[in-house]
Structure 1
């Protein structure tokens, strides 16, 4: 656990803005929820969250390893013959690694995006571009007016959007499937969320899209949060882990807002890496979950995990 005084913590959260000379204008905060949480069962976790976590972990592996589906234990956990990569791309920097694959076990396509590589300055710069910008109306034709997104996340998502959309469209036909699962961690979670919206708006309505992301930072304004709620609804889940500070940035007072769909891990077993207390958090910015965490209890390691089934997210957890 890393304990940080409140003033220092606030300064750290604002550093990317200060580095660009951006004034921290208070735009007010969106709605909050204080509804009681409900326990998430192990059956729900195993059925809905473990496999996306395993795919999100693999997005940190080298492109060569993913293309060959030979990335050690992370690939083995999903089955060596059960996943067929359709496209693998990214450089781990300006374009974070990503892949689209056919998951034969669930008879679905999977889209997965790599998270921030702290050792790669270009990857960090993607996160540091905090300014809100209007959403791309070409990629998101049904977004409507007023929707603004984090410009660093938006530019990063746009670099791979055409490839992801084209590959998914082709894969739905060639693999004769009608389901798409989207996942990612950290920066990859932000990109994956935008991908899910893009796919929902550009694919046939009969295609089932489910999204489970991990360690998601706030990606846009209240209109963006509402767009996620109205477009993806209950098919969208973002997992937060204990005292991870990343889901609390960018700060709400400059106009950022999380959607609904948070599932919060509040306790894990250190020996097994399994979540022992996991709760569903109704509404947007539920104060009983990550939004209610104290700045005195920030834990950077909590951002890495483990999330479920001893799955942690970083290049160090992918041997190849």
Structure 2
């Protein structure tokens, strides 16, 4: 019975996706009437590149069971983080959110790290794409319901842990990071820390779109240093579908786009722009979801054959957007 219930649940999620994606064909990608730009992009500086690689290594290492929940730096890239102390790890029951707080005494940094999707519970959260009101920001500021519920499950534990470290080490900088689902959760976490008065930087890698334009405006104008990193034609960055006005989804933040030649282009903070990831009109690629610096060294820790539904839906997404057609 449980097996059939799971099938029915998956069918329901799929139908929900299709219904949402078949909303009025006012698709943003197919109506390039205005070039969206937040100002001239610039090549990433050496310091920016070092920071992007540093936080991606932590995000990638969080996929390994040796790290979360076992608190051991034993993985493909763990030699690069072995100097850091894993202060506390978190694993939630409903959505299987895996996260940790680490402290780098060499760099004087306190970092909360969120694992990306790895289990069916994670993908169930990803599939819950209905937009829900974000806290007390009003009906026009709406966020992906699955991401919000997932974060709310872990927030009561991880927020006090971070605050405790900040109180013990007041001279340390604070940051939060994650890849894919982890990037979305890190963004919500960073916004929470900022609202609590902490200057926390967000390093979000390969995140799907998180909310509508209202949420994108809120997060980009919050004052939190919001770094959103994309790579080549990563399929999942272009999902859920972007529609005009407040009905659909939109990215935000300062975008650092890893290009095919591995050069990194940085687009200024704001709503998603046509100058970085969206400038590439080619077909999106599932494999590019792993093309983030040294992430591939931890491939044995990543999800295996569990992204079929997500891949199908996001591929359908790009067909509706028609981004790959000449504009």
TM-score range normalised by the length of the shorter chain: 0.7 to 0.9
1:181-200 correspondence runs (5 A): 181-200=175-194
Aligned residue number for residue 99 of structure 1 = 100
- Whether the 8 Å CA contact 1:109–1:168 is kept in 2: the answer is yes
- Whether the 8 Å CA contact 1:32–1:285 is kept in 2: the answer is no
Instruction: State the secondary structure of the residue aligned to 1:170.
Output: helix
Cα distance in 2 between the residues matched to 1:227 and 1:17? 29
1:316 aligns with 2:289: no
- Whether the 8 Å CA contact 2:97–2:154 is kept in 1: the answer is no
Cα drift, residue 211 of structure 1: 1.0
Aligned residue number for residue 288 of structure 2 = 302
1:206-285 correspondence runs (5 A): 207-233=198-224, 235-253=225-243, 254-268=247-261, 275=262, 277-282=263-268, 283-285=270-272
Deviation readout 1:217-257 (Å, 9 max, x if unpaired) = 11001111111111145x11111000101111111114111
Cα drift, residue 170 of structure 1: 1.2
Indicate the structure whose relative CO is greater, using CA pairs within 8 Å and at least 6 residues apart: 1
Cα drift, residue 91 of structure 1: 5.9
Equivalent residue in structure 2 for 1:18, among 12, 15, 18: 15
Cα drift, residue 180 of structure 1: 1.3
Cα distance in 1 between the residues matched to 2:93 and 2:236? 19
Aligned residue number for residue 45 of structure 1 = 49
- Whether the 8 Å CA contact 1:29–1:257 is kept in 2: the answer is no
Aligned residue number for residue 110 of structure 1 = 111
Equivalent residue in structure 2 for 1:60, among 52, 60, 63: 63
- Whether the 8 Å CA contact 1:58–1:74 is kept in 2: the answer is yes
Instruction: State the secondary structure of the residue aligned to 1:61.
Output: coil
Which one is further off, 88-97 or 223-232?
Answer: 88-97
Aligned residue number for residue 5 of structure 1 = none
- Whether the 8 Å CA contact 1:185–1:313 is kept in 2: the answer is no
Cα distance in 2 between the residues matched to 1:196 and 1:313? 27
Cα distance in 2 between the residues matched to 1:102 and 1:134? 33
TM-score, normalising length from structure 1? Answer: 0.78
Change (3 A) 1:313 1:85: same
- Whether the 8 Å CA contact 1:304–1:314 is kept in 2: the answer is no
Q: Any unmatched runs of 5+ in structure 1?
A: 1-14, 138-142, 269-274
- Whether the 8 Å CA contact 1:237–1:261 is kept in 2: the answer is yes
Cα distance in 2 between the residues matched to 1:313 and 1:163? 30
Cα drift, residue 68 of structure 1: 3.3
Which one is further off, 86-95 or 207-216?
Answer: 86-95
Instruction: State the secondary structure of the residue aligned to 2:135.
Output: coil
Cα drift, residue 74 of structure 1: 2.1
Aligned residue number for residue 309 of structure 2 = none
Residues paired across the two proteins, number: 280
TM-score, normalising length from structure 2? Answer: 0.77
Change (3 A) 1:262 1:17: farther
Change (3 A) 1:68 1:90: closer
Q: Any unmatched runs of 5+ in structure 2?
A: 1-11, 303-327
Cα distance in 1 between the residues matched to 2:300 and 2:223? 32
Instruction: State the secondary structure of the residue aligned to 1:237.
Output: strand
- Whether the 8 Å CA contact 1:98–1:112 is kept in 2: the answer is yes
Which one is further off, 158-167 or 170-179?
Answer: 170-179
Cα distance in 1 between the residues matched to 2:175 and 2:15? 36
Aligned residue number for residue 164 of structure 1 = 158
Cα distance in 2 between the residues matched to 1:132 and 1:159? 18
Cα distance in 2 between the residues matched to 1:162 and 1:93? 14
Cα distance in 2 between the residues matched to 1:20 and 1:300? 18
